[in-house]
Chains A and B, each alone.
Chain A
Amino acid sequence: MKTFNYHSVKDVKEASKLSSSKSAFLAGGMTTIPSMKLGLANYKDIINIKGIKKLSGIKVSGKTVTIGSTTRHAEVANSKEIKKAIPSLSALAEGIGDPQVRNRGTIGGSIANNDPAADYPSACIALNAVIHTNNRKIDAEKFFRGMFETSLKSGEIIESIEFAIPQKSSYQKYPNPASRYAIVGVYVAKHKSGVNVAVTGAKSCVYNDKNLSDILSKNFSADAINNTKISASGMNSDIHASADYRANMVKVFAKKAVEAC
Chain B
Amino acid sequence: MASLVGSRVERKEDKKLLTGRGKYTADVNFIHQTYAYFVRSPHARAEIKKVDISKASKAPGVVAVLTGADIANDKIGGLIAGWRIKSEDGSDMKVPAHPPLANESVNYVGDHVAVVIAESLDEARSAADLVKVDYKILKAVVKTKDAMDSDQIYKDIPKNMCFDWLLGDRAKVKEAFDKADKIIKIDIINNRLIPNAMEPRAANADYNPSTEEITLYTTSQNPHLARIIISAFNGVAPENKLRVIAPDVGGGFGSKIYPYAEEVVCSWAAKKIERPVKWVADRTESFLSDCHGRDHVTHAELAVKNDGTFLGFKNETIANIGAYASVFGTVTPTYLFGPCATGVYKMPAAYTNVKAVYTNTAPVDAYRGAGRPEATYTIETLVEKAARELGMDPAEIRMKNFPTEFPFQQTLVHSVDSGDYNAGLKKAMEMGEYESFEKRKKESESRGKLRGIGFCTYFEACGIAPSPVVMMLGCGIGLWESAEVRFNPTGNVTVFTGSHSHGQGHDTTFAQIAADQLGIPIENIEIAHGDTDKGPFGYGTYGSRSLTVGGTAIVKACDKIVAKGKRVAAKMLEVNEDEVDFNNGEFVVAKSNKKKTIGEVAFACYLPGTYGEVKSPLPDGEEPGLKETSFFDPANFSFPAGSHICEVEVDQDTGETKVVKYTAVDDFGTIINPLIVEGQVHGGLAQGIGQALYENCHYDDSGQLVTASYMDYTMPRADNFTDFNLGFTCTPATSNPLGTKGCGEAGAIAAPPAVMNAVIDAIGKEISMPATAEKVWAACNKKNKNSEAA
Residues on A facing B (Cβ under 8 Å): 1-2, 38, 174, 177-179, 181, 239-242, 245, 248-249, 252
Contacts and interface: CB of A to CB of B under 8 A. Distances in A.
Contact of A239 (B653, B656, B712): B712
Contact of B653 (A38, A177, A241, A252): A252
B772 interface: yes
Contacts of A2: 126
A178 B774 contact: no
Contacts of A252: 653-654
Counting contact residues on chain B (CB < 8 A from A), the size range is 20 to 34
Interface string B639-663: 0000000000000011110000000
B713 A178 contact: yes
Contacts of A38: 284
A239 B720 CA distance: 20
Interface in B682-720: 694, 698, 706-707, 710-715, 720
B707 A239 contact: yes
B694 A177 contact: yes
B557 interface: no
Contact of B774 (A1, A179, A181, A245): A245
Given A239-B698, A239-B706, A252-B653, A177 B773 contact: yes
B777 interface: yes
Contacts of B655: 245
Closest 7 CB pairs of A and B: A178-B714, A179-B711, A245-B774, A177-B714, A252-B653, A178-B712, A239-B698
B714 A245 contact: no
Nearest to B719: A180
B653 A240 contact: no
Contacts of B694: 177-178
Nearest to B781: A248
Contacts of A241: 774
Contacts of B778: 245
Interface string B736-780: 000000000000000000000000000000000000111001100
A222 to B, nearest CB: 12
A179 B710 contact: yes
A178 B713 CA distance: 6
20 contacts: A174-B654, A174-B773, A177-B772, A177-B773, A178-B694, A178-B710, A178-B711, A178-B713, A178-B714, A179-B711, A179-B712, A239-B698, A239-B706, A239-B707, A240-B774, A245-B778, A248-B653, A249-B654, A252-B653, A252-B654
Contacts of B654: 174, 249, 252
A245 B777 contact: yes
B777 A248 contact: yes
Contacts of B711: 178-179, 181
A173 to B, nearest CB: 11
Interface string B124-151: 0010000000000000000000000000
A241 B284 CA distance: 23
A179 to B, nearest CB: 4
A181 B712 CA distance: 11
Given A178-B713, A239-B698, A245-B778, 18 more contacts: A174-B654, A174-B773, A177-B773, A178-B694, A178-B711, A178-B712, A178-B715, A179-B710, A179-B711, A181-B711, A239-B706, A239-B707, A240-B712, A240-B774, A245-B774, A248-B653, A248-B777, A252-B654
A181 B714 CA distance: 12
B625 to A, nearest CB: 54
Contacts of A245: 655, 774, 777-778
Interface of B: 122, 126, 284, 653-656, 694, 698, 706-707, 710-715, 720, 772-774, 777-778
Contacts of B656: 174
A199 B706 CA distance: 26
A2 B698 CA distance: 30
Nearest to A241: B774
A1 B655 CA distance: 40
A181 B720 CA distance: 16
A248 B654 CA distance: 8
A123 B628 CA distance: 71
Contacts of B720: 177
B111 to A, nearest CB: 20
A239 B191 CA distance: 15
Nearest to B693: A177
A41 to B, nearest CB: 16
B691 to A, nearest CB: 14
A33 to B, nearest CB: 15
A38 B777 CA distance: 35
Contacts of B772: 177, 240
A28 to B, nearest CB: 18
Nearest to B698: A239
Given A177-B694, A249-B654, A242 B715 contact: no
Contacts of B707: 178, 239
Contacts of A179: 710-712
Nearest to A251: B653
B716 to A, nearest CB: 9
User: Most chain-B Cβ atoms within 10 A of its Cβ — which of A38, A174, A177, A245?
Assistant: A177
Contacts of A248: 653, 777
A2 B60 CA distance: 14
Contacts of A174: 654, 656, 773
Contacts of A242: 774
Contacts of A1: 122
Nearest to B774: A245
B709 to A, nearest CB: 9
A1 B122 CA distance: 7
Contacts of B284: 38
A116 to B, nearest CB: 13
A1, A174, A239, most chain B CB atoms within 10 A: A239
A248 B777 CA distance: 10
B200 to A, nearest CB: 15
Most chain B CB inside 10 Å of its own CB: which residue of A179, A241, A245 = A245
Contacts of B715: 178
B160 to A, nearest CB: 25
A239 B710 CA distance: 13
A239 B653 CA distance: 19
Q: Which of A2, A38, A249 has the most CB of B within 10 A?
A: A249
A248 B713 CA distance: 23
Contacts of B774: 240-242, 245
A204 B710 CA distance: 21
Contacts of B714: 177-178
B708 to A, nearest CB: 11
Nearest to B125: A39
B375 to A, nearest CB: 27
A252 B706 CA distance: 28
Nearest to A174: B654
A38 B284 CA distance: 9
Nearest to A244: B778
A178 B772 CA distance: 11
Contacts of B777: 245, 248
A239 B709 CA distance: 13
A240 B775 CA distance: 10
Contacts of A178: 694, 707, 710-715
Nearest to B654: A252
Contacts of B713: 178
